[in-house]
Amino acid sequence: MTTPTKTFTLLATGLALLALATGAPTPAQAALDGSTPMLCAVSTVMECDAEGKCVRITPEVHPDFPSFIRVDVPQRTITAGRQDGRKSEIKAVTRLDGRLILHGGENARGWAATVAEDTGRMTAGIVTDAFAFTLFGACTAP
Q: What is the DSSP string of 55-123?
A: EEE-TTT-TTS-SEEEEETTTTEEEESSSS--EEE--EEEEETTEEEEEEEETTEEEEEEEETTT-EEE
- Note the pLDDT of residue 65: 78
Report which of 95, 105, 100, 97 is spatially closest to residue 127, judged by C-alpha positions. Answer: 105
- Note the pLDDT of residue 6: 35
25-140 has which fold?
A: Lipocalin (2.40.128)
Domain chopping of the chain, boundaries: 25-140
- Note the pLDDT of residue 74: 95
- Note the pLDDT of residue 83: 62
Q: Digits of tens for pLDDT over the chain (142 positions)?
A: 444 333 233 333 332 332 333 344 444 445 799 999 999 999 999 999 999 999 998 867 777 778 899 999 999 999 987 666 788 999 999 999 999 999 999 989 999 999 999 999 999 999 999 999 999 999 998 7
